[in-house]
Chains A and B, each alone.
Chain A
């Protein structure tokens, strides 16, 4: 009887802990997921590390470099030490912090096409649409791209 009660208590504790864990999720966590930029040429998975959000390239429409026929690397990076880092898995969104106004800011976005890093602010237009604005110094000097959320289960054909 004591053993049954103990098992029940342990299960209840685990359930409560899990519920508590769920309740502790930040409203900023709705950013987590797999997203596709407007040009459809890559897919970015956004995750949370500590209190900040990061995005990694997880898919490329053209995964190989046409010049070498090997997997693409970050060859346009101005830092020579990073030119051989594979683009797949590259962390192109960094250090985003969820703000009380509902945006994610204080982060940067990296453009592998030209090796430039820009200031960036992310706004969620709806739960499946992001406005990603890369800018130089002030937001007026920037460009916004719209990213769409992808279903993580395979698409129906």
Chain B
């Protein structure tokens, strides 16, 4: 009898062990979560690093396909003057030498596709590296199509529009649980080119390096230096990063000054409203197809486009990771002048502090309302 009992016990233990292995291995005592309060890493040397994001930040866009539309405005193009050695050239009669006469025209709309993608290449606790590419196409719909008698700027914009194709990279290097370095770099080919790309010598490089701190999960800030074309021409400027979210996850700020600054209102994590501004700009090489009549390639002319966009943005999840972003606002021109590079070399004016070279053409644009809509795949 005793023997039978022991065998039964042994059998039960064996079966019980097997059943246990097939059931939830979480113990019944797990609801006492206090046992997890005071645990340390198994690896004594394991370090904590801060993450690139803060809580409540709007989601990063992995893939974006959008459409940008500006309403009607007048574009007043001045004469295109000849520039020699950084100053206006004069003819034998003492008059400014003019390449193309100025004229004003009405632009009914400026519109185009904007596409971009960003893919994480390395995503580790101690290093995040992302690569991306973007394509922006801007077309100018004139009220009356410019003719060969019109100013060259109007002809060029009407026939070819402006295009930017670029690649970019972002590296986030946490130094500790509270400090980090952020590097952003891009190479853009901007101009009036079509299917035939411009040579790589016309690539324009931008970069920013920021040292930052992340004192809490809901705040990060940093200071750095940027080489940028955001106001149209090359500049080296200080930059300030500031992202924060309030304790209730309702309000926040997303700032990379001076490039952009927005106040964020989080309706819920899938619905966000923003108010603020962004500076946009590039230097566009005037590069026409010789077949169209006028070839500006040897003129070394570039449109220095810089503008501020004051706007409201609404971003929300359509379904899971597909987000729609709708923005509307006011486009304020800062610069749309044409510069002549000296022997193809960039002019660094430092807002007139270092050089005061004249522009080959000074243009004035009206300031229209605009809207932008984009469909985005957002990052985990």
Report the Cα distance A50→B23, complex, angstroms.
6
Known contacts being A58-B30, A143-B123, is A135 close to B380, with CB within 8 Å?
yes
A100 part of interface (Cβ distance < 8 Å): no
Q: How far is the CB of A143 from chain B (nearest CB, A)?
A: 5
* Residues B26 and A129 in contact, CB atoms below 8 Å apart: no
* Residues A155 and B49 in contact, CB atoms below 8 Å apart: no
* Residues B36 and A116 in contact, CB atoms below 8 Å apart: no
Q: How far is the CB of A10 from chain B (nearest CB, A)?
A: 4
- B-contact 0/1 string along A4-36, CB 8 Å cutoff: 001101100110011001001100000010101
- B-contact 0/1 string along A104-137, CB 8 Å cutoff: 0000000101111010000000001101011110
B46 part of interface (Cβ distance < 8 Å): yes
- A-contact 0/1 string along B36-61, CB 8 Å cutoff: 11111111001011010001000100
* Residues B380 and A17 in contact, CB atoms below 8 Å apart: no
* Residues A149 and B41 in contact, CB atoms below 8 Å apart: yes
Known contacts being A56-B26, A89-B31, A116-B320, is A39 close to B51, with CB within 8 Å?
yes
* Residues A38 and B125 in contact, CB atoms below 8 Å apart: yes
* Residues A140 and B48 in contact, CB atoms below 8 Å apart: no
Partner among B25, B39, B217 whose Cβ is within 8 Å of the Cβ of A151: B39
* Residues A59 and B380 in contact, CB atoms below 8 Å apart: no
Chain B residues near A142 (CB, 8 Å)? 120, 123, 379-380
Chain B residues near A7 (CB, 8 Å)? 6
B354 part of interface (Cβ distance < 8 Å): no
* Residues B124 and A144 in contact, CB atoms below 8 Å apart: yes
Report the Cα distance A24→B21, complex, angstroms.
9
Select the residue from B13, B39, B55, B379 with max chain A CB neighbours within 10 A: B39
* Residues A143 and B40 in contact, CB atoms below 8 Å apart: no
* Residues B41 and A150 in contact, CB atoms below 8 Å apart: yes
Known contacts being A58-B33, A116-B380, is A38 close to B51, with CB within 8 Å?
yes
* Residues B17 and A21 in contact, CB atoms below 8 Å apart: yes
A102 part of interface (Cβ distance < 8 Å): no
- A-contact 0/1 string along B1-24, CB 8 Å cutoff: 011001101100110011001111
* Residues A43 and B36 in contact, CB atoms below 8 Å apart: yes
B312 part of interface (Cβ distance < 8 Å): no
B248 part of interface (Cβ distance < 8 Å): yes
Chain A residues near B49 (CB, 8 Å)? 38
Select the residue from A2, A38, A45, A115 with max chain B CB neighbours within 10 A: A38
* Residues A141 and B39 in contact, CB atoms below 8 Å apart: no
B296 part of interface (Cβ distance < 8 Å): no
- B-contact 0/1 string along A71-92, CB 8 Å cutoff: 0000010100000000011000
Closest to B3 in A: A6
Partner among A2, A21, A49, A76 whose Cβ is within 8 Å of the Cβ of B24: A49
B119 part of interface (Cβ distance < 8 Å): yes
B269 part of interface (Cβ distance < 8 Å): yes
Partner among A18, A45, A114 whose Cβ is within 8 Å of the Cβ of B17: A18
Select the residue from B40, B269, B380 with max chain A CB neighbours within 10 A: B380
Known contacts being A3-B2, A10-B9, A38-B125, is A49 close to B40, with CB within 8 Å?
no
* Residues A150 and B25 in contact, CB atoms below 8 Å apart: no
B200 part of interface (Cβ distance < 8 Å): no
A101 part of interface (Cβ distance < 8 Å): no
Chain B residues near A43 (CB, 8 Å)? 36, 39
Chain A residues near B62 (CB, 8 Å)? 136, 141
Closest to B62 in A: A141
Report the Cα distance A152→B37, complex, angstroms.
10
Report the Cα distance A9→B10, complex, angstroms.
10
* Residues A140 and B43 in contact, CB atoms below 8 Å apart: no
* Residues A150 and B40 in contact, CB atoms below 8 Å apart: yes
Chain B residues near A143 (CB, 8 Å)? 120, 123, 379-380
Chain B residues near A136 (CB, 8 Å)? 62, 321, 377, 380
Q: How far is the CB of A85 from chain B (nearest CB, A)?
A: 14
Q: How far is the CB of B178 from chain A (nearest CB, A)?
A: 12
B270 part of interface (Cβ distance < 8 Å): yes
Chain B residues near A128 (CB, 8 Å)? 41-43, 46
**Can you list 18 contacts pairing A with B, beta carbon distance less than 8 Å?**
A3-B2, A6-B3, A13-B7, A36-B39, A49-B24, A50-B22, A50-B23, A58-B30, A76-B269, A78-B270, A89-B31, A114-B270, A142-B380, A145-B125, A148-B42, A148-B46, A150-B36, A151-B41
Closest 7 CB pairs of A and B: A155-B40, A146-B125, A144-B123, A10-B6, A17-B14, A150-B39, A114-B269
